[in-house]
Chain A
Amino acid sequence: MDCDLTCSTLHAYFDNELSAASDAEFKRHLEHCSDCVAELDACYFVRDSLQRSHIYERAPALLRRTIRADLRSFAPTTASSQPLWWYWLAAAAALLFVAILLGSVGHGLSGDDYQAELAGEIVDAHVRSLQPGPLTGIASNDGRIVSGWFDAKLKFAVPVREFANEGFALKGGRLDVMEGRSVAVLVYERNGHPINVFIWRTREPDTSARTGSRRGFQWVDWRKGKMEFCAVSDADLVDLEKLHQLISSSA
């Protein structure tokens, strides 16, 4: 009954947390979605009621400045019904993923435009990956189930293999959209460290693995058979390179 966006993008839009591009896109969506228009009205009503009622003394200026000063990186609590590592890894991986795209060749826009667009995409993907409700995805250690899930959603075939015997447990998969392209994400776990493997179509030729490290996360990126793969994790690079080997040789 409800539009898919009413519990996700809509609230970020309402709080002015979307990039200019996504904001404009959502405004266009509003032109033909009565569910979202109604939901937005309800949000405005709550906000107006709260603000006009003066039931709350705004925090003194000094306290407000203190709250706004020095944003600390957030620390996850363990008391959560959602698998919190989903959010952590989704957020961090999304950031890293785009950093890697920034380094890749063949984009048409000028340097500055591209950076600005991608900065917007980073924030959007970050915000989207942390929205309430279950992450669009499938939790399963069965490669056929995960593969079948992707088949129903993507135009390209996603190679899904189980490597439990080699110490990489398949945990599931999910989808993301970055730079307007659909990206499949396979989730493995190695010694308690979740690994996200981003997979998307490319026209570029095959490459050997490039590796890197950023903000405490490691990544391995390679291209094979018109697909690009990027594995991201806080696990050791040695482990990621092993996973790269396993995935490449099984394709």
Chain B
Amino acid sequence: MNDLEPVATPESIAIADEGRERLTRGLETLPPRHREVLVLRELEGCSYKEIPATTSIPIGTVMSSLFRARRQSQSVLINPGCKELLRGL
């Protein structure tokens, strides 16, 4: 932890919790395949070679899933209320 990170207050923790809640609920609206591919790419850092190998989803489908998952996530996340909450994470 560096000196410049904000101190966690009960309030900021509550805000972060709510943002996370919104994000989770938003992700749950994604079709399972899109969510899986998004998670593998963004959170596990899997490459375009590794995702098909892991999921047996062909590379073309992986890429279109990723594209759609990102677009859908954008509309879930990029609304004014959510953005404020997410900033508090």
Contacts and interface: CB of A to CB of B under 8 A. Distances in A.
Nearest to A7: B67
Question: By CB atoms of chain A within 10 A, which of B23, B63, B86 has the most?
Answer: B63
B50 A67 contact: yes
Nearest to A14: B70
Nearest to B23: A53
B45 to A, nearest CB: 9
A107 interface: no
A71 B59 contact: no
A109 interface: no
A55 interface: yes
Contacts of B53: 67, 70-72, 74
Contact of B43 (A15, A43, A51, A131): A51
Nearest to B60: A87
Contact of A50 (B23, B47, B66): B23
Contact of A17 (B23, B47, B73, B74): B47
Interface of B is mostly: helix
A46 B70 contact: yes
A209 interface: no
B58 A87 contact: yes
Contacts of B74: 42-43, 45-46
Contacts, number: 103
Interface residues of A, number: 40
B15 to A, nearest CB: 12
A77 interface: yes
Nearest to B27: A55
Nearest to A76: B58
A74 B60 CA distance: 10
Given A42-B78, A74-B52, A130 B60 contact: yes
B35 to A, nearest CB: 11
Contacts of B66: 11, 15, 132
B77 to A, nearest CB: 6
Nearest to A54: B20
Nearest to B26: A49
Contacts of A133: 64
A52 B89 contact: yes
Nearest to B72: A46
Contacts of B46: 67-68
Interface in B24-55: 24, 27, 38-39, 41-44, 46-50, 52-54
Contacts of A52: 86, 89
Interface in A61-84: 64, 67-68, 70-72, 74-77, 80, 82, 84
B70 A43 contact: yes
A47 interface: yes
B56 interface: yes
A8 to B, nearest CB: 9
B14 interface: no
B77 A45 contact: yes
B48 A127 contact: yes
B50 A71 contact: yes
A68 B51 CA distance: 9
6 contacts: A43-B74, A52-B86, A55-B27, A68-B46, A77-B56, A82-B60
